[in-house]
Amino acid sequence: MTTHDRIREGDSKTYTRTFTNEEVQQFAELSNDTGYHHLVADEDGQVVLHGLLTATMPTKLGGDLNYLARTMEFEFPRPAYTGVEITCEATYESVEKQDDCTYLEVSFVCETEDGDVVLRGRSEGAIMG
């Protein structure tokens, strides 16, 4: 059974992680986004995650499938912080299987352990082969 055969409309996958201040520092250096709020910790020792660092969570789930995104849309309703567990859930809204690929429409939402939504969005793309 291939990855294509296991994907069903309405199915979802989750990924949970907690980002560190060191990871935000590394992302700042890589992206050249060195905004103060990403580099200087607050009174709790936390910094704000880059939105696109947070967005690596749904892209990790896509990478597990060898998914090639054609489009991605992001909304960041509130900031996410280091030291806070975040869970991303991706749901396959549409699955269209063809001879050599499977086209997907995916929605995703990332929430903190307290239930605060820090990222929501959608993507369209395909799994080739």
- Residue 35's pLDDT is 93
Residue 44 lies in a domain: no
As for how many domains the chain has, the answer is: 1
CATH of the domain at 101: 3.10.129.10
Residue 4: pLDDT over 90: no
123 inside domain: yes
Question: Does a structural domain hold residue 34?
Answer: no
35 is a domain residue:
no
The pLDDT value given to residue 1? 45
The pLDDT tens digits of the residues spanning 59-116 come to: 999 999 999 999 999 999 999 999 999 999 999 999 999 888 999 999 999 999 999 9
Range of the domain at 118: 3-18+49-128
Q: Output the pTM of the full model.
A: 0.92
> DSSP string spanning the chain?
--HHHH--TT-EEEEEEE--HHHHHHHHHHH----HHHHS--TTS--BPPHHHHTHHHHHHHHTTTEEEEEEEEE-SS--BTTSEEEEEEEEEEEEE-SSEEEEEEEEEEEETTS-EEEEEEEEEEEE-
Query: Rounded mean pLDDT of the chain?
Result: 94
The answer to whether residue 42 is domain-embedded is no
* pLDDT, average across residues 24-46: 95
Residue at 11 is within a domain = yes
